């Protein structure tokens, strides 16, 4: 039996780690993505961290359930089915496992995320 304990991380400053977008998914521009998982459940099925991306357009296929809270920037996300979502600072969204979307990052974006993966997410 594992011991219960709170995980915490202080404020993150500076550059996040490279987290490149699959090159074949880039639709316009040269978006550069960075991110770090900061905390993770003991079974590694639940992870939370920070992600940022510079301007551009790309396709994104969600291999997990993801909740996001936009901290900075502005992005338009179009679902493969056509629904359009405008997100900016303070907005929160859920992206379900399997969703195919198209991201248009208008202003460099930074988000806090929490993902639930079907298999352990090993860093």
Please say if the pLDDT value at position 1 is more than 60: no
What's the pLDDT at 2? 63
Residue-wise pLDDT tens digits, 16-75: 999 999 999 999 999 999 999 999 999 999 999 999 999 999 999 999 999 999 999 999
| Distances, alpha carbon 111 to alpha carbons 37, 44, 50, 75, 83, in Å | 12, 20, 6, 11, 21
Instruction: List, as one string, the DSSP characters of 63-90.
Output: SSEEEEEEEEEEEEEEETTS-EEEE-TT
Q: How confident is the model at residue 3 (pLDDT cuts 50, 70, 90)?
A: confident
* Structural domains in the chain, sorted by start: 38-116 (2.60.120.10)
What's phi and psi for 4, nearest 5 deg? Answer: -80, 135
To the question of pTM greater than 0.95 for the whole model, the response is no
Closest of 84, 85, 55, 58 to residue 72, by C-alpha: 55
Length reported for the chain: 123
């Amino acid at each position: 039996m594992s011991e219960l304990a709170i995980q915490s991380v202080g404020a993150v400053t500076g550059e996040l780690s490279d987290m490149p977008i699959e090159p074949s998914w880039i639709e316009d521009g040269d978006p550069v993505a960075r991110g770090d998982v900061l905390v993770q459940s003991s079974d590694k099925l639940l992870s939370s961290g920070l992600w940022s991306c510079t301007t551009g357009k790309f396709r994104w296929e969600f291999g997990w359930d993801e909740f996001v809270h936009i901290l900075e920037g502005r992005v338009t996300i179009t679902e493969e089915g056509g629904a359009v979502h405008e997100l900016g600072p303070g907005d929160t969204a859920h992206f379900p496992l399997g969703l195919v979307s198209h991201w248009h990052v208008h202003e460099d974006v930074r988000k806090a995320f929490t993902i639930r993966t079907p298999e352990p997410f090993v860093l």
